[in-house]
Amino acid sequence: MTEQTLVLIKPDGVQRGLVGEVIARIERKGLTLAALELRQVSTELASEHYAEHAERPFFGELLEFITSGPVVAMVVAGDRAIPAFRQLAGGTDPVEKATPGTIRGDFGLQTQFNIVHGSDSPESAAREIALWFPSLNS
């Protein structure tokens, strides 16, 4: 089933020069880019994006991190794009959960600095795409 997912290359990924690497993996998988923008994230957008984590102890740090430098925001499309990108990303903890061969497994060490974000469900994808790319019809 063709679907769309919101992918972010977080400030750590951009600063470390991993934009090309991440996009190459997305394209090699057979997924396509429907939208892409380099962008400095406001605290307001970050808070809305991560609203489900508002009560977590790491919420403040998460907002500080995601607003610390530019991110690359993308809408990625294709057959089962939501689970397909999550497979490419690997688990949230780059050491305990992500396996080698995944983006986080290959390039990450700490859960907070885990390089990429991908929507976790069709509901999240619809909400996140509307939030980041309000002018896009999905």
Q: If you ran DSSP here, which 8-state letter would residue 136 be given? A: S
**Least distance in Å: CB of 29 to ligand CMP?**
18
Q: Is 114 in the site for ligand CMP (CB under 6 A)?
A: yes
19 — alpha (psi -120 to 50), left (phi > 0) or beta? Answer: alpha
Question: Which residue is catalytic, options 31, 117, 118, 129?
Answer: 117
Q: If you ran DSSP here, which 8-state letter would residue 71 be given? A: E
Q: Is 92 in the site for ligand CMP (CB under 6 A)?
A: yes
CB-based burial label for 1 (10 Å; 0-12, 13-18, 19+): exposed
Q: Is 102 in the site for ligand CMP (CB under 6 A)?
A: no
Q: Is 53 a catalytic residue?
A: no
Nearest to 6 by CA among 74, 53, 67, 54: 74
**Least distance in Å: CB of 95 to ligand CMP?**
12
Q: Is 44 in the site for ligand CMP (CB under 6 A)?
A: no
Which residues of this chain interact with ligand CMP, rule CB under 6 A? 53, 58, 62, 92, 111-112, 114, 117
Binding-site annotation: residue ranges for ATP: 10, 58, 86, 92, 104, 114
